């Protein structure tokens, strides 16, 4: 049997915090660092170890902090540097770790670098960003589309050139070809690592190297365009290696790359043990399922077979040579119980099923805030409730094409990023206990009266209780971390049954992604004992509606 190298970041469990929506300590309607500090015991008790916190730096918030105007300053709405240091100490005192978000493909257009860069053609910061002349007819240099709709090029009247922004026009892409840019970035990374943080999640890291010939996009879906044009440029590995060499290698920290466009065929170039690049990645193949020509607002159908195929192919492609994170949602995608489970009648059952899935697949689990209580998509009633720039931009585009608000809302309520960004539901009190303010930055999901942490804590069969049990189990049994993986239910469109095994033990995980009860005897050996199910009683060979069963093979 082949052997996987051991590492602390393979054995621990990541919990992702979206700070604006986690907990508001001072009643201004915006979550903040002191709000997180006051929930550290909750997190410890849940059993998670690595807290990844989305950007908290100075930012005009065009993309909620993913547009940074000062990398060394904390945004006052989140608190101060002292608060961050206290948070870090609070985590370390509890034996937990902190990783921050590093967004260095682009800055805010309000960053001093960009202000200088756009000020004139001969400013010394001009080539910190990517400027190109228009085509002879005045149109943008390429047909590239931004991730958030419209052209990825913005015309600058003063200098008569376009600058590149793969995201919003307030997020100009840095020019990594320029060694001065790279060295500024390494200084920023070291500034934070010197404070003692435990690593970074590297935002859109495969996008930092651009194709020098700037080819037009020709693929027919947006995820394919990402692979063809935006991701995995020719120098990306030189840059990552240099970054590791100049900063990360000097510290015992983890690096997790966010990987739009990193497919299974190129993954090992980033995470292969021999490459000395990133520790692990969040690949987005399963998240991008269903995206058509212009992305999520031109949807295409998919099903469980596609999800399983992606997990199977990735596991095979990586083997013992590298490592990934396992997650089914984050701040950019709908809530996993609404997307892959059943958030109606079977919300509790299917939330537990999703929990068993992410905690028993092969890779470091990442739990997004609120999943542990089964939070769902929100179904806003009006576009005025939406805050996300992506949703709003696409709305304006679709409106021009004749779509009504009602029609667009149906799509936004299914695909929009704000589904995951409504405030954490702590209790059935005002604003779900998230904030004492009369107005939160985004509305609370009205289902908080029923779905909240306090209610879960009073119920021994709650989603939260199930998470705690699964987290303990994952940590007790090495097989779930390092063991091999194989799907047993290939070709079945509602069953996901797989085994995890090593020299010491073997488990079979049986997940029913439907409300139809089914006999699974043909998948099981005679010697299976049930360790855990999301039902209160056990049943031998039947898998009931949305049942998740963990079996030990003796
Ligand atoms: O959000 C997405 C789909 O709706 C993704 O395509 C997302 O844009 C992509 O995964 C990159 O995401 C990251 O960088 C963005 C930021 O808006 C996201 O929040 C972040 O996770 C730009 O910094
Ligand atoms: Ca606040």
Helices (H), 403-477: 405-415, 453-457, 463-476
**10 C-alpha to center of ligand 2: Å?**
33
CATH fold label, 483-553: Immunoglobulin-like (2.60.40)
Task: Pick the residue whose CA is nearest to atom 18 on ligand 1.
Answer: 332
pLDDT reported for residue 540 = 78
User: How many angstroms is it from 115 CA to the middle of ligand 2?
Assistant: 29
Within the chain, all domains assigned CATH 2.60.40.1180 are found at: 483-553
Residue 116's region, left for phi above 0, alpha for psi from -120 to 50, else beta, is alpha
Q: What are the catalytic residues? A: 203, 258
Q: Ligand 2 centroid vs 429 CA: distance in angstroms?
A: 17
Which of 16, 18, 56, 203, when mutated, tests ligand 1's pocket best, judged by the most ligand atoms within 8 Å of its CB? 203
| C-alpha–C-alpha distance, residues 357 and 221, integer Å | 28
The CA-based angle 527-529-530, given to 5 degrees, is 150
Neighbours of 549 (CB within 10 A): 27
Q: Is any atom of ligand 1 closer than 6 Å to the C-beta of 260?
A: yes
Residue 550 CB partners (closer than 8 Å, separation 6+): 356, 360, 473, 507, 508, 509, 510, 530, 531, 532, 533
Regarding the beta carbon of 103 and ligand 1, being less than 6 Å apart is answered yes
Q: Which residues of 269-295 are buried (b: 16+ CB within 10 A; e: fewer)?
A: bbbeeebebbbbbbbbbbbbbbbeeeb
Q: Give the single-character DSSP code of 537.
A: S
The ranges of the chain annotated as CATH 3.90.400.10 are 112-164
Burial (0-12, 13-18, 19+ Cβ within 10 Å), 318 = buried
21-50 exposure pattern, b = at least 16 Cβ within 10 A, e = fewer = bbbbbeeebbbbbbbbbebbebbbebbbbb
Ligand 2 center to 320 CA (angstroms): 44
Ligand 1 atom closest to 415 (CA): 4
296 lines ligand 1 (CB under 6 A): yes
Q: Is 204 in the pocket of ligand 1 (CB under 6 A)?
A: yes
Which ligand ends up closest to the CA of 260? 1
Q: Is 17 helix (H, G, I), strand (E, B) or coil?
A: strand
List CB-based neighbours of ion ligand 2 within 5 Å. Answer: 24, 26, 28, 30, 32
Could you say which ligand is closest to the alpha carbon of residue 423?
2
* pLDDT of the residue at 217: 97
Any ligand 1 atom below 6 A from CB of 145: no
**Beta strand 50-53 pairing with 14-17:** parallel
Q: pLDDT value at position 166? A: 98
Instruction: Say which ligand is closest to the CA of 28.
Output: 2
pTM attached to this predicted model = 0.98
Q: What is the 3-state secondary structure (H, E, C) of 123-139?
A: CCCHHHECEECCCCCCC
pLDDT in tens, the chain (554 residues): 468 899 999 999 999 999 999 999 999 999 999 999 999 999 999 999 999 999 999 999 999 999 999 999 999 999 999 999 999 999 999 999 999 999 999 999 999 999 999 999 999 999 999 999 999 999 999 999 999 999 999 999 999 999 999 999 999 999 999 999 999 999 999 999 999 999 999 999 999 999 999 999 999 999 999 999 999 999 999 999 999 999 999 999 999 999 999 999 999 999 999 999 999 999 999 999 999 988 999 999 999 999 999 999 999 999 999 999 999 999 999 999 999 999 999 999 999 999 999 999 999 999 999 999 999 999 999 999 999 999 999 999 999 999 999 999 999 999 999 999 999 999 999 999 999 999 999 999 999 999 999 999 999 999 999 999 999 999 999 999 999 999 999 999 999 999 999 999 999 999 999 999 999 999 999 889 999 999 999 887 999 999 999 999 98
- CB of 202 closer than 6 angstroms to any ligand 1 atom: no
Please state which architecture CATH assigns to domain 112-164.
Alpha-Beta Complex (3.90)
**Does the CB atom of residue 63 touch ligand 1 within 6 A?**
yes
pLDDT for the residue numbered 2: 62
147 Cβ inside 6 Å of ligand 1: yes
Predicted local confidence at residue 187, as pLDDT: 98
Contact 529, 505 (CB under 8 A): no
Q: Calculate how far, in angstroms, residue 30's C-alpha sits from the geometric centre of ligand 2.
A: 4
Q: Which residues contact 24 (CB under 8 A, 6 or more apart)?
A: 30, 31, 32, 35, 423, 434, 435, 436, 437, 440
Q: What's the 424 CA to ligand 2 centre distance in angstroms?
A: 13
| Residue 113 CA from chain centroid, whole number | 28
Name the E strands within 173-323. Answer: 199-202, 254-259, 280-283, 291-292, 295-299
What string of H, E and C letters represents the secondary structure of 334-345?
CCHHHHCCCCCC
Q: Is 285 in the pocket of ligand 1 (CB under 6 A)?
A: no
Which numbered atom of ligand 1 lies nearest the CA of 332? 1
**Dihedral angle computed from the Cα positions of residues 156, 165, 193 and 64, in that order, rounded to the nearest 10 degrees:** 100
DSSP 136-182: TTS--SS-PBPTTSSBSEEEETTTTEEEE-SS-TTSPBB-TTSHHHH
């Amino acid at each position: 049997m082949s052997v996987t190298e051991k590492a602390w970041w393979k054995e621990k469990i990541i919990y992702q915090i979206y700070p604006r929506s986690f907990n508001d300590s001072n009643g201004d309607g915006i979550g903040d660092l002191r709000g997180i500090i006051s929930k550290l015991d909750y997190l410890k008790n849940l059993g998670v170890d690595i807290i990844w916190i989305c950007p908290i730096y100075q930012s005009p918030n065009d993309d909620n902090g993913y547009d940074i105007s000062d990398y060394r300053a904390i945004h006052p709405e989140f608190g101060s540097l002292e608060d961050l240091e206290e948070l870090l100490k609070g985590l370390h005192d509890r034996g937990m770790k902190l990783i921050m978000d590093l967004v260095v493909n682009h800055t805010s257009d309000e960053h001093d670098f960009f202000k200088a860069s756009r000020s004139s053609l001969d400013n010394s910061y001009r080539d910190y960003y990517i400027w190109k002349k228009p085509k002879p007819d005045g149109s943008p240099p390429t047909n590239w589309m931004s991730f958030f709709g419209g052209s990825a090029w913005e015309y600058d009247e003063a200098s008569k050139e376009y600058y590149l922004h793969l995201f919003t026009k307030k997020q100009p892409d840095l020019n990594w070809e320029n060694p001065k840019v790279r060295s500024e970035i390494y200084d920023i990374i070291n500034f934070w690592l010197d404070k003692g943080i435990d690593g970074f999640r590297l935002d859109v890291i495969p996008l930092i190297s651009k194709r020098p010939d700037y080819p037009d996009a020709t693929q027919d879906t947006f995820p394919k365009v990402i692979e063809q044009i935006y991701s995995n440029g020719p120098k990306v590995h030189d840059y990552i290696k240099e970054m590791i060499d100049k900063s990360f290698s000097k510290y015992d920290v983890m690096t997790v790359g966010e990987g739009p466009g990193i497919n299974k065929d190129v993954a090992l170039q980033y995470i292969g043990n021999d490459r000395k690049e990133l520790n692990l990645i969040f690949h987005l193949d399963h998240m991008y399922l269903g995206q058509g020509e212009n992305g999520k607002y031109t949807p295409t159908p998919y099903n469980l077979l596609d999800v399983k195929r992606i997990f199977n192919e990735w596991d095979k492609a990586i083997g013992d040579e590298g490592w990934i994170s396992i997650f089914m949602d984050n701040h950019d995608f709908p809530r996993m119980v609404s997307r892959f489970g059943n958030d109606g009648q079977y919300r509790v059952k299917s939330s537990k099923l999703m929990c068993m899935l992410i905690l028993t697949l092969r890779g470091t689990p990442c739990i997004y805030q609120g999943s542990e209580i089964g939070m769902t998509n929100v179904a806003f009633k009006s576009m005025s409730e939406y805050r996300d720039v992506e949703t709003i931009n696409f709305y304006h585009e679709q409106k021009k094409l004749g779509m009504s608000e009602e029609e667009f809302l149906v799509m936004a309520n299914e695909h929009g990023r704000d589904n995951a960004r409504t405030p954490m539901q702590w209790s059935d009190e005002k604003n779900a206990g998230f904030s004492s303010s009369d107005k939160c930055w985004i509305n609370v999901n009205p289902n908080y009266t029923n779905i909240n942490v306090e209610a879960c804590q009073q119920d021994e069969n709650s989603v939260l209780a199930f998470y705690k049990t699964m987290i303990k189990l994952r940590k007790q049994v090495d097989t779930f971390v390092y063991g091999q993986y194989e799907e047993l239910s290939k070709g079945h469109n509602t069953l996901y049954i797989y085994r995890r095994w090593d020299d010491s033990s073997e488990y079979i995980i049986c997940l029913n992604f439907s409300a139809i009860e089914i006999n699974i005897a043909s998948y099981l050996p005679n010697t299976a004992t049930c360790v855990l199910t999301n039902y209160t009683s056990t049943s031998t060979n039947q898998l009931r509606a949305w049942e998740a069963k963990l079996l030990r093979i003796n």
